[in-house]
Structure 1
Amino acid sequence: MKKRIEKSFRDADQKASPIEKYNSNVDRRTSQNGPLVFSAFVAVAVFLLVMAAGFALVGDFTVGGLAVAFLVAWAATMSVHIAMQWEKIVVFRFGRFSRVKGPGLYFTIPFIEQTALKADQRIMVTGFGAEETLTSDLVPINVDAVLFWMVWDAKKACLEVENYYNSVSLAAQTALRDAIGRASVSEVAIRRNQLDQELQEVIEERTSVWGITVLSVEIRDIVIPQGLQEVMSAEAQAEREKNARMVLAEVEKDISAMLVDAANVYEENELAVRLRTMHLLYESVKGSGGTVVIPSAYSEGFSDAALDKAIDGLKSGK
């Protein structure tokens, strides 16, 4: 039977998500070491004082004196307490709220007043997630997030909710699932910062009545199914190729328009064609550093008569 129980605990630990393991391994008992040591010191000190007083009065240690010392020491530990710097203590009297004490030394009346809650007012870190949650386009994704929050009103944290730590965790998980269900998978992946802000506002609205304020929410990881990752990558590549082709087509359109304008200029002015021919030949000779054989049909453009005609044409503005 014992082996079966141990095996079930191991299986549950293996199936637990990293967030659940993190939350289960958090040690929240560190603030109790100081108060426990102080209570032990008070009990021992009061016990010794009562025993010394009994010995001074009776002149001997008796069983009755020992019992009285024990009862007084027990009552002292129930009356004198300390709260750590980060703690707020909610005290009830006859089952009704009495006051909030701490940090430091505080007193209670035994059997009449009780400590209902020790609220830790440090910044708390709660990991939460949404596993296999469907987006608005019906894609199951896994999202892990971290919530930073703190208790600012210990009275409300005690009176308004049964277990404020678990309630905050469940409220954050529910808000995350709702936010994922309203967005598509691409929006969840791209709008991470906006999702953080939306979650913070929603969780803050739910937890403020419990005396809890939300400092920030941070999405740590978004896991999309492997098959969908390949499809989204192919879609992104196709979109980039489409944009590249559109830019190339726009450039070719501009170039063709400029070529048409140049052709119209050359058609109206034969001299411009010859000047362009001469320029091309000059660039060829300059680039090659050698000589170029010019066909006889083009050599006329370099004759003196042709040059004089070109000069006259430029002067006349033709």
Structure 2
Amino acid sequence: MKEQKAFAIPGLLVVAAALILAGFVAYRYTEYVPLLTVPAAIIGFLLLKGVAIVSPNEALVLTFFGKYSGSLVQNGFWWVNPFAGRQKISLKIANFQSEQLKVNDAHGNPIEIAAVIVWRVVDSAKATFAVENCNNFVRLQGETALRHLSNLFPYEPHTPGETALRSHPAEIATQLRAELAERTSVAGIEVLEAQLSHLAYSPEIAQAMLRRQQAQAVLAARQIIVDGAISMVEMALRKLETDGIVQLDGPSKATMVNNLLVTLVSENHIQPVLSTAPMRT
């Protein structure tokens, strides 16, 4: 249902016109005042019944005999059709945090996930007539979109460049917002922002996943240390040969490489052992 502008008259104009009319009637037909009591009461009731006050960031949805006749979104004091049904709806920005959902990621690992969603009504007609309750509708659709999104991506990347929930928060938030906007468009709702507010492994596998992350971190650190040690050994051998300090044969190079690698790679303090044997050249 497309939103349309409701016909409304500024309330002050109506009040001024009513006062002028009352003064004119009282001046011309004073002797018929008893006969004008009933019509005046009916007119006064209709005038009061048609008065409407619209606050900022608020819409007044009007229906006339079951048919949508328009929405009044401009704040102020107005006079509308006194026989029209009215329903106020807020246009203010709203937000909520979903409950922590227990779902499975793309690899089947149980995780806990939650999101903060910021939204507002942009079509008062759809928000009133397309859904029963737009607040509950947004909450349920937000949880549904969050469950679907968590099934599409893993908790953490397992291959280089893989999009994951933990490592790519901006991309995940963009996709969550797009999916939620598509789901709520039928209710005239605009999703302004959707961000993950909680993300963790479920308690039953949290310890195992923590040990896995620690092992991966140790492996990555050791790889960096080994690569650096090999570079330093290569540089030392090249420097010795280039400067002509000493010429090493194969066994001597192997011994030196072994000693340097053990010294550089070992996590414990190395006790040096001095060799008094002459070095073979």
TM-score, scaled relative to structure 2: 0.63
How does 1:77-92 map onto structure 2 within 5 Å?
77-92=48-63
Report the alpha carbon displacement of residue 250 of structure 1 after superposing the two structures with TM: 2.0
Q: Is 1:127 paired with 2:107?
A: no
Secondary structure of the residue aligned to 1:267 is: coil
Conserved? CA contact 1:130–1:177, under 8 Å: no
Counterparts of 1:25-44 in structure 2, within 5 Å, are none
SS at match of 2:107: coil
- The equivalences for 1:1-318 within 5 A come to 75-101=46-72, 102-111=74-83, 113-115=84-86, 117-186=87-156, 187-261=164-238, 262=240, 265=244, 266-267=246-247
CA positional deviation for 1:247: 2.3
Change (3 A) 1:122 1:204: same
SS at match of 1:88: strand
Following superposition, the deviation at residue 171 of structure 1 comes to 1.4
Return the letter of the residue paired with 2:193: S
Higher relative contact order (CA 8 A, sep 6+): 2
Question: What amino acid does structure 2 have at the position aligned with 1:170?
Answer: L
SS of the residue 2:178 aligns to:
helix
Runs of 4+ in 1 over 6 A off after TM superposition: 56-60, 67-73
The residue identity in structure 2 corresponding to 1:237 is Q
Whether the aligned pair in 1 keeps the contact of 2:102 and 2:202 (CA below 8 Å) is no
For the aligned residue pairs, the C-alpha RMSD in angstroms reads 3.5
**Mind listing any 5+ residue stretches in structure 2 that lack a counterpart?**
1-14, 16-21, 157-163, 249-275
In structure 2, the partner of 1:292 is none
Q: Give the superposition deviation at 1:218.
A: 2.2
Distance in 1, matches of 2:234 and 2:228, equals 10
Task: Name the aligned partner's letter for residue 133 of structure 1.
Answer: V
Compute the displacement of 1:150 (Å).
Answer: 1.2
Using the TM superposition, give the Cα deviation of residue 137 of structure 1 relative to its aligned residue in structure 2, in angstroms.
2.2
Cα separation, 2, equivalents of 1:180 and 1:172: 12
The structure with more radius of gyration: 1
Q: Structure 1 or 2: larger helix share?
A: 1
Asked if the contact 1:130/1:176 (under 8 Å) is kept, the reply is no
Which residue identity is paired with 2:111? Answer: I
Partner residue in 2 for 1:29: none
Q: CA deviation at 1:200?
A: 0.8
| Number of equivalences | 213
The alignment's TM-score, normalised by the length of structure 1, stands at 0.56
Please say if residues 142 and 224 of structure 1, whose CA atoms lie closer than 8 Å, have aligned partners that are also in contact: yes
Q: Relative to structure 1, is the Cα distance of residues 207 and 243 closer, same or farther in structure 2, using a 3 angstrom cutoff? A: same
Is residue 108–residue 114 contact of structure 1 (8 Å, CA) maintained in 2?
no
- Whether the 8 Å CA contact 2:121–2:190 is kept in 1: the answer is yes
Secondary structure of the corresponding residue to residue 63 of structure 2:
strand
SS in 2 for 1:129: coil
SS at match of 2:132: coil
Q: Equivalent pairs: percent with the same residue?
A: 24
CA–CA distance in 2 between the matches of 1:213 and 1:91?
A: 22
